[in-house]
Chains A and B, each alone.
Chain A
């Protein structure tokens, strides 16, 4: 099973070879409420770790999503165009936002694994 890692800003990453898939955590979608629109980056865009990668609009507010790793955007999830609510129903699965071609695996290792993220959430509350 591919491992998931998480950021303190509640993004998740799955790394398979050189491809990193990025989304937001289930906790994040709960906090946001009903998602009505997702603005995704252009294919080919270069993102440094921490750069704004996407914007999620919920009914009440807009929230920036930051790239957990550095890389080039190679694919975005067009299904979110027609069905932004997928972010609420399957944040950590089908509602991935984008895929990056990455170069530095150590950025992945620096992030929290599932257990560390669960503990992080517990501390937050």
Chain B
């Protein structure tokens, strides 16, 4: 629709604020079926973990059955090819379940096939959907349809029956709220989604609110806050690098990543709070008060739960301290801002 503007989102953004607030108050349902789901398959857990550990800095060998870890596929330069979730499925030794970004699926699968090595194979899953139910009411809604949901700990997964439909339920998400990601056979996906939407607490949530929710939660979006040039250390994701891995290395890009862990990275991802009400968007140059370039905004918009504009970006490490004064160039003019603590909205993961 030809409404004059800098950029027109593909999906009309009506209702983003309402959808966003609903998710934090009750339960939001997201269709994320385009994300890539795949299995890494080998002889036993030890051998698949070993193969995977060459490609990610996480501790995969130490994953207990049912446990999920967030990590990144790194390249030899220490940059990030994609971020992903890795699950050691319960009762299935020798298999790891991966969930990767839709936009990077093809790249990731090529990379994995080329680099997993002999004896370990990649099986992509093309016949399953993925839906996420997120929010403080998600657990009580799920409990009406699905056991063993209440006992599922954060970042664990289990096979479960949802209204008799066999699925894999993970207690995880991309909003900072308690919630679940459900891998369901494609043929049953609509029935499962409709059953959830029929619940009074549940509302369907679009991609606009998905983005504002994750931004408030301080979570990275691949291609924006992380990419092939950013290391996990620069991106503030060093917490996901296993302790043993820091000592042993042995993953792609370890030289740079371990170097940055020892000496500090040159730049850091930070939260940014613009003063006033004007949002600063991706690409806005970050300057110091003298006009010297410090970095760039990588994600920016309005946080409905915060009630103010919020952003994330990279700045020179020296300027990364909380409350450092910054200028953001918006429409050619510098607007004042400061480095803000992430997340903007506290996480409320299930404990």
**B is a partner of A:** yes
Q: A residues within 8 Å of B by Cβ?
A: 8-10, 28, 30-34, 36-37, 39, 55, 57-66, 81, 84, 124
Are A60 and B4 interface neighbours, CB within 8 A? no
Q: B residues within 8 Å of A by Cβ?
A: 1-9, 12-17, 208, 211-212, 276-279, 281, 301-302, 304, 309, 331
Interchain CA distance A81-B277 in the complex, whole Å: 8
Besides A57-B279, A57-B302, A63-B4, 15 other A-B contacts (C-beta < 8 A) = A31-B1, A33-B12, A33-B14, A34-B16, A34-B302, A37-B309, A59-B16, A59-B212, A60-B208, A61-B8, A61-B13, A62-B5, A62-B7, A63-B8, A66-B4
Known: A33-B14, A59-B16, A60-B16. A8 touches B2 (CB 8 A): yes
A115 to chain B, nearest CB (A): 20
Please give, as numbers and ranges, the residues of chain A lying within 8 Å of B4 by CB-CB distance.
9, 63-66
Are B1 and A37 interface neighbours, CB within 8 A? no
Interchain CA distance A58-B3 in the complex, whole Å: 13
Interchain CA distance A62-B5 in the complex, whole Å: 6
Please give, as numbers and ranges, the residues of chain A lying within 8 Å of B309 by CB-CB distance.
36-37
Interchain CA distance A28-B309 in the complex, whole Å: 22
Are B1 and A61 interface neighbours, CB within 8 A? no
Are B16 and A61 interface neighbours, CB within 8 A? no
B211 to chain A, nearest CB (A): 8
B307 to chain A, nearest CB (A): 9
Please give, as numbers and ranges, the residues of chain A lying within 8 Å of B212 by CB-CB distance.
59
Which residue of the partner chain, among B3, B8, B13, B276, contacts A59 with CB atoms under 8 Å? B13
Interchain CA distance A61-B14 in the complex, whole Å: 12
Are B279 and A32 interface neighbours, CB within 8 A? no
Are A60 and B278 interface neighbours, CB within 8 A? no
**A9 — nearest CB in chain B belongs to which residue?**
B4
Known: A60-B9, A60-B16. A31 touches B208 (CB 8 A): no
